[in-house]
Chain A
Amino acid sequence: SQTIHQWPATLVQPVGSPLSLECTVEGTSNPNLYWYRQAAGRGLQLLFYSVGIGQISSEVPQNLSASRPQDRQFILSSKKLLLSDSGFYLCASNLLGGGEQYFGPGTRLTVT
């Protein structure tokens, strides 16, 4: 079975600072990878998804970017954080051809 790791678990950053969140997946190869954000009391917002190395699709234009330098590594970045970037960031994976998504433990980001 696959395991998804995310770090850091929590992060407090000032407005205008950069961001890098990392997600790695174990136990599978060539997964589809996803970044979601969940604001307090809100639903899941899909930010990016990737079907392979270097292949990134953006769902919501904003000051965030994503990269997939390796098959099982997915990185979420920002050059300058906004207050509205606060939220619970979740990395998810599903096997190619499968519909089930599995989520990592998440990173809780607070922008001050």
Chain B
Amino acid sequence: QKEVEQNSGPLSVPEGAIASLNCTYSDRGSQSFFWYRQYSGKSPELIMSIYSNGDKEDGRFTAQLNKASQYVSLLIRDSQPSDSATYLCAVNPAAGGSYIPTFGRGTSLIVHP
């Protein structure tokens, strides 16, 4: 059974700090990896996607992928109170077809002023 594990948190960081969110996955053949942000009571919003080993930066967000170790992480620099949300990691399995991602249960991030 494919699994995606995330620490449920909450992860509490002060405003301006770097928040580091981690995710591990069990399917070694996984091809693509995503981070979603979900504010309380709202639907998930895609914020980052990463497909190859290494870092991918987009503004204050950096996604890091290490396929050998089967983990993907999200760094949020200069954290703001508006970043307080639950962050979901999603992993797509190997091969094409219907793209059924496996989601982690999310990490709650609290950025306090």
Within 8 A of A (CB), among B7-32: 31-32
Contact A42 B100 (CB under 8 A): no
- List the A residue with the shortest CB-CB distance to B51: A99
Contact-residue size bin, chain A (C-beta under 8 Å from the other chain): 20 to 34
Q: A32-B98, A99-B31 are in contact. Are A43 and B103 (CB under 8 A)?
A: yes
* Interface check B84, CB cutoff 8 A: no
Complex contacts, B82 vs chain A, CB 8 Å: none
Q: A57-B98, A99-B49 are in contact. Are A104 and B31 (CB under 8 A)?
A: no
Q: Which of B40-48, B54-62, B72-80 contacts A (4 or more CB under 8 A)?
A: B40-48
**Nearest 9 pairs between A and B by C-beta?**
A43-B105, A99-B32, A103-B43, A44-B103, A106-B43, A99-B92, A103-B44, A51-B98, A100-B46
Binding site for A on B (CB under 8 A): 31-32, 34, 36, 41-46, 49, 88, 90, 92, 96, 98-101, 103-106
Binding site for B on A (CB under 8 A): 32, 42-44, 46, 49, 51, 57, 59, 88, 90, 94, 97-106, 108
